[in-house]
Structure 1
Amino acid sequence: MQAGQRAGRPPRKPRRALHGVVLLDKPLGLSSNDALQKVKWLFRAEKAGHTGTLDPLATGLLPLCFGAATKFSQVSLDADKRYTARVKLGVVTTTGDAEGEVVSTRTVTPEMTTPDSIAAACAAFSGEIDQVPPMHSALKHEGRALYEYAREGIEIERAPRRVTIHGIDILGCQDDVLEIDVRCSKGTYIRTLAQDIGEHLGCGAHLIGLRRTGSGGVTLDGAVTLDALLAMDESDRDTLLQPADVLLSDWPDVLLGEQDATRFLTGLRRRTKLPDAPQVRVYGPHPAAPADAARRVLLGSAHIQGGELIPTRLLSPAEVQGMVLMHSASQPADLVAAP
């Protein structure tokens, strides 16, 4: 018996070198890291990472990256986000959400909740705005998270941060609960937005529900709950693993020929007649495909400047091969690089 293995217990299954993305519908009450560790354990993955923190009180889309896909996790972290938020009008809390203590309550008059009043309040916080980060946040000050100071009753001065609210759609307002659909840039605090809308209406507010529905080009379509993953066997779980390029799905794509693909993987720039682009996903021919087939495999990411395709993030040959073995080839490229 190996050291550390208890009698009567089956041997622990080894970790696997998985490559891809699982779109998790994170449950309420679980931190992003706890969700990641549970899913990593279920898949027996060697390497995994998430794509940005989703608060325990929030649910919804949390892309989890395995293996080679972790190289593109920053893409999802930097991407625009979409949320459905439920805002309780007339009640202000210490944290801006339902976890905090009630600071004040105010009467919500009928005039405050007319469609015109709500539309005006939402419009006031659309476009580029400055937000002061809440004290109950994970932002660091002198090496400590702001929420640690807040728990000690210490208020730290915070500089406003510029964020962009691309749009706020009003889904309804009933029993002093406003429901909105928010499309925003990374770094936007929906709690702060809820508070600001409440103050604009004159009654105050706090966030009582938040669900992330989109991140970049990825949505909840195809997302799986933790309970569903727990109920599956390993082979069924593996079918949910999506290729790494799902995180890059809203970028233009470039398909290289065999020789250019080989050189690109070494980090060499390639000449192209394509127009400048800040970010593109780059593909090469599938090694198992016939010469006249259009099947392709992801090689990495790049940008195009001055007639050159310049590598940004590259997969290793071993990672490319691993993804070939795990995933079927994607559809033909829409944007083909000139020879």
Structure 2
Amino acid sequence: MKPLQKPRLPRRALHGVLLLDKPLGWTSNDALQKAKGLLRAEKGGHTGTLDPLATGLLPLCFGAATKFSQVSLDADKGYRATLKLGITTTTGDGEGEVLERRPVEVDEAALQRARASLTGEIDQLPPMHSALKHEGKALYEYARAGVEVERTPRRVTIHRLDIVSREDDVLVIDVLCSKGTYVRTLAEDLGRMLGCGAYLIGLRRMASGPLRVEAAVTMEALAAMSETEREALLLPPDCLLADWPQVRLPAAEAGRFLSGLRRRVSLADTDEVRVYGPEHAAFLGSAHIKAGELIPGRLLSPVEVQGLLLNSTETRVA
């Protein structure tokens, strides 16, 4: 006689953002599906692919928070990258075959010149070993088949590139960059400027917009928690917009705004604002201001607003 299996609990509507410290070797979707199952969440999505060979901050959005995931996708990202100097590979990382070995004769002055040259707006050629799509297929699929696809350089911004440490031929850098930046390509470009070549041996995402990896939970810790403890980790959806200016509306105006109506405000034109009702927890959605009008963007439903208010109250009581 087979032992009785525990009945599987149903999925439920959860609204919030989980800051996950993605494990090494996991795809972003692997991490999302595991976390979604642990939380029993009905609806979820991640906020931008992090390579399996990378670790670090992966914000996961559930329920109403998925409406604002694009904000995190478009946000600047912070990385700590570890480079091996003197070697180039076919993939720009440790998974590829070695193409060339060269002596490393790099002094501090050369490092600072290369760092300065790669700071600001630069053009990057997307690597063949990337998830960028061409005619419906990821570039890495073509690369694995030995096919080279013509690519167009893309303009990205390196806001900051700091040398953290150097020990023999291993260089550690911190990078703050715009969306769409390939740190692997940045490592190769840095190696080329130094005249010795380089490839990426480690990558960790430290930040995404206003969110930081220090607040993230590991998958191992998440799996060991009770369901109540996991749910308590969910941040409200507006954490994704935390660096946007905020607008507060009185109750009557909040209700009209939530129904999609424009409201008159005495505020300067602004491309991005987060909008609240009369209570701090009553996040309503995003908007922009033009010619004295508050114009709705992505809005929560009244049910979602009430659910977030309830969760916030329960958290304060707890």
TM-score interval for Structure 1 and Structure 2 normalised by the shorter chain:
over 0.9
Partner of 2:73: 77
CA distance in 2, matches of 1:261, 1:324: 14
Partner of 1:290: none
Partner of 1:276: 269
Matched, 1:190 2:183: yes
CA distance in 2, matches of 1:187, 1:155: 20
Give % identity.
66
SS where residue 282 of structure 2 aligns?
Answer: strand
The one-character-per-residue Cα deviations of 1:57-92 (angstroms, maximum 9, x if unpaired) are 000000000100000000000000000000110010
Matched, 1:149 2:138: no
**Unmatched 5+ residue regions in structure 2?**
none
CA distance in 2, matches of 1:158, 1:171: 32
Q: How much does 1:221 deviate?
A: 2.8
Q: 1:27·1:226 contact (CA, 8 Å) conserved in 2?
A: yes
Task: Specify whether residues 330 and 279 from structure 1 end up closer, same or farther in structure 2 by C-alpha distance, changes over 3 A only.
Answer: farther
Q: 1:19·1:66 contact (CA, 8 Å) conserved in 2?
A: yes
Partner of 2:97: 101
Find 2:45's aligned residue among 49, 65, 81: 49
Partner AA of 1:160 in structure 2: P
Question: Normalising by structure 1, what TM-score?
Answer: 0.91
Q: Which moved more, 1:182-191 or 1:218-227?
A: 218-227
CA distance in 2, matches of 1:212, 1:73: 17
SS where residue 327 of structure 1 aligns?
Answer: helix
Q: 1:296·1:330 contact (CA, 8 Å) conserved in 2?
A: no
CA distance in 2, matches of 1:328, 1:305: 34
Q: 1:89·1:204 contact (CA, 8 Å) conserved in 2?
A: yes
Matched, 1:88 2:84: yes
Partner AA of 2:63 in structure 1: G
Partner of 1:23: 19
Find 1:316's aligned residue among 301, 304, 312: 301
**Unmatched 5+ residue regions in structure 1?**
1-5, 287-294, 332-339
Q: How much does 1:330 deviate?
A: 11
CA distance in 2, matches of 1:7, 1:14: 21
CA distance in 2, matches of 1:57, 1:216: 22
Q: 2:32·2:45 contact (CA, 8 Å) conserved in 1?
A: yes
Find 1:301's aligned residue among 279, 282, 286: 286
CA distance in 2, matches of 1:213, 1:151: 30
Partner AA of 2:237 in structure 1: A
Q: 1:296·1:329 contact (CA, 8 Å) conserved in 2?
A: no
Partner of 1:136: 129
Task: Specify whether residues 169 and 328 from structure 1 end up closer, same or farther in structure 2 by C-alpha distance, changes over 3 A only.
Answer: farther
Q: 1:122·1:168 contact (CA, 8 Å) conserved in 2?
A: yes
Q: How much does 1:328 deviate?
A: 4.1
CA distance in 2, matches of 1:297, 1:193: 42
Partner AA of 2:6 in structure 1: P
CA distance in 2, matches of 1:168, 1:145: 28
Q: How much does 1:329 deviate?
A: 9.6
The one-character-per-residue Cα deviations of 1:149-203 (angstroms, maximum 9, x if unpaired) are 1011111111100000001011011121110000000000000000000000000
Q: 2:281·2:312 contact (CA, 8 Å) conserved in 1?
A: no
CA distance in 2, matches of 1:230, 1:318: 29
CA distance in 2, matches of 1:65, 1:312: 18
Correspondence list, 1:154-303, <5 A: 154-286=147-279, 295-303=280-288
Question: Normalising by structure 2, what TM-score?
Answer: 0.97
SS where residue 214 of structure 2 aligns?
Answer: coil
SS where residue 213 of structure 1 aligns?
Answer: strand
CA distance in 2, matches of 1:9, 1:329: 33
The one-character-per-residue Cα deviations of 1:308-328 (angstroms, maximum 9, x if unpaired) are 111110000011111112224
CA distance in 2, matches of 1:142, 1:296: 44
Q: 1:32·1:54 contact (CA, 8 Å) conserved in 2?
A: yes
Partner AA of 2:26 in structure 1: L
